[in-house]
Amino acid sequence: MQQHKNFLQLVKTRHSVRKFLDQPIDKAALYKCVEAARLAPSANNAQPCRFMVVDEPELKEKLAKHAFNGIYTSSRWVSQSPALIVILTHLDWISDRIGKQITGIHYYFVDAGIAGEHFILQAQELEIETCWIGWFSSKGVKKALNLPHKYQPVAIIAAGYSDTKKTVRRKRRSLSEICWFNEIK
């Protein structure tokens, strides 16, 4: 078990993984990740996110067939992941309509992003690797999973174990480039 001495170190070990071992993730571990997501903050505490874990091979295939076709074929590899966590947001009237109309901010997408990252970082602590997938057919996901109209798929998290422990760090902008105190640069 890797030891993460502090939060930043945990964050630094995370990177997107797109190839997994053929090893299932146990339910308790997945529940722990969803628990971390459940505790995420949300606008007006609306808690709009729902998490559908897809780990049955037939359903994964069905999901892949509908969600990753046409212009989305580059995401086909996702179906090889041991578990796919579909993050749904419940199109709640207040956060969806009123909030967006007044401030222009889509709070339910923000909420889903925060909850999804909570999931991912908890997974990282458990040495479960992940990749956030945003390139999929929303219509296809709804069809494959028979989703009621009120749920909007926002992301699919591909999750599994990996035998390559090396961290492939993608470049990030420097702190001075992204952070300003008291003035815009």
Q: Which residues in this chain contact ligand FMN in the complex, by CB under 6 A? A: 15-16, 18, 75, 131-135, 170
Closer CB to ligand FMN, 134 or 148, in the complex: 134
d(C-alpha 120, C-alpha 125), whole Å: 9
Least distance in Å: CB of 131 to ligand FMN? 5
CA dihedral sign of residues 175, 15, 121, 96: positive
Task: Give Cα separations from 115 to 18, 74, 82, 119 (angstroms).
Answer: 21, 25, 21, 6
d(C-alpha 141, C-alpha 86), whole Å: 9
Least distance in Å: CB of 84 to ligand FMN? 12
Closer CB to ligand FMN, 45 or 167, in the complex: 167
Closer CB to ligand FMN, 76 or 97, in the complex: 76
Task: Pull the structure tokens for residue 28.
Answer: 């308790």
Least distance in Å: CB of 9 to ligand FMN? 15
113 membership: H or E segment, kind and range: helix 107-125
Closer CB to ligand FMN, 96 or 129, in the complex: 129
Task: Pull the structure tokens for residue 122.
Answer: 């908890």
Least distance in Å: CB of 7 to ligand FMN? 16
